[in-house]
Amino acid sequence: MIKIPPDIEAAILKDRVTTAEIADVIKHCEDTRAKVLDAASGEYTGYGETGAITLWVRYKTAGADAEVLEYYFNRTRITGVSYPVAEPDLRLGPLPKSMRNRALLCCKCDVSLEIRKVLFKYMNRSYSAMSFACPICGQVYESQEVIRCRAEKVEALLEEK
Ligand SMILES: [Zn+2]
């Protein structure tokens, strides 16, 4: 069973996302194990593409139940994962410091995520940025914090082209 706390349910209605879409993301993550474990908190994060958005859900499990802790979305598609990057050589700069040392694990491959160059598509324009990705299956992790602080930079970058 998927539990959605009342405050999150209220936000879902406002955001024009549906609880079914959020449940689908969790079901997909659980069925395929395409989810990322935050080793410090024991929480999972996964994503799915639904309509024009990429929908991210952070949740925790207890037995057969899953409780939604957070959801967020953007209109960016993940189109590929490239080489590992140690230095902020990309035009969008580095990941925020608070993000860089997180212990994130791909549950499908049982390996740690690495900071890699990830390719995205937004409004039919492509760009690349540093992000956490699984070196084996290419599963990507983006926190709401990263998505938020990158959004303005991406718009500026795409406008100057
Ligand atoms: Zn993986």
Q: Give one DSSP letter per residue of 35-93, joined into a string.
A: -EEETTTTEEEEEEEETTEEEEEEEEEETTEEEEEEEEEESEEEEEEEEE-SS--STT-
Q: Does the structure show a pLDDT above 90 at 78?
A: yes
Instruction: List, for residues 12-58, the tens digit of each pLDDT value.
Output: 989 989 999 999 999 999 999 999 999 999 999 999 998 889 999 99
Ligand 1 centre distance from Cα of residue 131 (Å): 14
Ligand 1 centre distance from Cα of residue 91 (Å): 26
> What three-state secondary structure class fits 3?
strand
Burial 118-128 (b: 16+ CB within 10 A, else e): bbbebeeeebb
Ligand 1 centre distance from Cα of residue 84 (Å): 15
**Binning pLDDT at 50, 70 and 90, where does residue 158 land?**
confident
Q: Does the structure show a pLDDT above 90 at 61?
A: yes
Supply the pLDDT for residue 107: 98
The Cα–Cα gap between 100 and 77 comes to 22
**Entry pTM:** 0.92
> What three-state secondary structure class fits 34?
coil
Ligand 1 centre distance from Cα of residue 5 (Å): 29
Residue 4's H or E segment, with its range, is: none
Supply the pLDDT for residue 18: 93
Ligand 1 centre distance from Cα of residue 105 (Å): 8
Instruction: List, for residues 84-131, the tens digit of each pLDDT value.
Output: 887 766 788 888 787 888 999 999 999 999 999 999 999 889 999 999
Supply the pLDDT for residue 84: 87
Q: Name the residue among 24, 26, 39 with its Cα closest to residue 106.
A: 39
Supply the pLDDT for residue 92: 83
| DSSP per residue, 85-146 | -SS--STT-PPPHHHHT--EEETTTTEE-EEEEEEEEETTEEEEEEEEE-TTT--EE--HHH
